[in-house]
Amino acid sequence: MVDWDKPIQFENGEPCELRETNLDGWKQWGAREDGAYPTRNVHRLGMDESTQAGMMAAHWYMHEDGKSNWPGYNVINIPD
């Protein structure tokens, strides 16, 4: 489980940061099979955000557990 109070990164080593927490969830993104809704806005650092597509690719809405459907993009805490 991710400790959202500590620095984070993707498990593939790509840097990211927590931008926003919404404890009520963003219901427009849909629930997972277990009924949980996304609650975290994660910013992928180092992305070219000069276009709308780049901005959209740089901001991900994640569930509380930080799990992604994209290989290597689960959120983890930065190892000590």
Q: Please state the domain extents for the chain.
A: 8-68
* Predicted model pTM: 0.83
Given pLDDT bands bounded at 50, 70 and 90, which one contains residue 30? low
Q: How far apart are the first and last CA of the chain?
A: 16
Distance CA 67, CA 70 (A): 9
The answer to whether 77 and 3 have CB atoms below 8 angstroms apart is: yes
Contacts 24+ apart (CB under 8 A), 23-30: 26/61, 29/61
Look-up of token digits 């992928």: 44
Q: What is the pLDDT of residues 35-78, one digit of tens each?
A: 767 789 999 999 999 999 999 999 998 888 899 989 999 999 99
- Give me the pLDDT at residue 54, please: 96
Question: Of 23, 20, 15, 25, whose CA–CA distance to 77 is shortest?
Answer: 15
- Give me the pLDDT at residue 28, please: 66
